[in-house]
Chains A and B, each alone.
Chain A
Amino acid sequence: DGGITQSPKYLFRKEGQNVTLSCEQNLNHDAMYWYRQDPGQGLRLIYYSQIVNDFQKGDIAEGYSVSREKKESFPLTVTSAQKNPTAFYLCASSFKTSGVYEQYFGPGTRLTVT
């Protein structure tokens, strides 16, 4: 089945540790995205990548890093510099149809940092 997988579903880390969230897609989509979701704030864009080996900062990139070495994979690292990392993280990929970029989402990773 085609889709987007994120692992793990739940992740716990101690403050001061870096942590990497996995995102893989087999939809052959060129573009991939990372969002952060907090209660009452909707989704906010962290980073996006439109092609391999290229990515751009979104609205809240500070304290995060990404890589895009393969079309299928777009891992997100939450660094110790991120002041409030506890959140629900969503990965998405998109393709263009009828002039519109339609985004598809993975199931998410809930990160808790204590």
Chain B
Amino acid sequence: AQSVTQLGSHVSVSEGALVLLRCNYSSSVPPYLFWYVQYPNQGLQLLLKYTSAATLVKGINGFEAEFKKSETSFHLTKPSAHMSDAAEYFCAVQTGANNLFFGTGTRLTVIP
């Protein structure tokens, strides 16, 4: 069965610093992986997705993620944090039933 694990429920970075949010997956087949962002009291917005076309995936708002099969990881990065990046981030994997299994989320705080 497919699943994802997000390491770190809270991450704090200074404005302008590198953002790194970790996600490891478990899958018996080549996975489809996603990162979503959620602002307070709102729905989820798709940041980027991995569909096996390229291991480095670029998304919206300057975010990108790299699929590493050897490490079963799909970490989300952004070179320079902005105050508007403060939100909760979810990693997800598409399951065999074409549903999504979500990680428990990482709340990102950006310190001015």
Contacts and interface: CB of A to CB of B under 8 A. Distances in A.
- Asked if chains A and B come from one complex, the reply is yes
Interface stretch (A69-77, A79-87, A100-108): A100-108
B99 A58 contact: yes
By secondary structure, the B interface counts as loop
B98 A99 contact: no
Contacts of B51: 98-100
Contacts, number: 57
A4 B41 CA distance: 15
Interface residues of B, number: 22
Contact of A110 (B32, B41, B44, B53): B41
Contacts of B94: 100-101
B99 A48 contact: yes
Q: How large is the interface on A (under 10, 10 to 19, 20 to 34, 35 or more residues)?
A: 20 to 34
Given A94-B98, A102-B46, 7 more contacts: A33-B99, A42-B102, A42-B104, A43-B100, A45-B99, A88-B41, A102-B49
Interface of A: 4, 6, 31, 33, 40-45, 48, 50, 56, 58, 88, 90, 92, 94, 98-108, 110
A42 B90 contact: yes
Interface in B64-112: 90, 94, 97-100, 102-105
Contacts of B36: 105
Given A58-B99, A106-B43, A108-B43, A100 B32 contact: yes
B45 interface: yes
Contacts of A88: 41
Given A48-B99, A100-B49, A40 B104 contact: yes
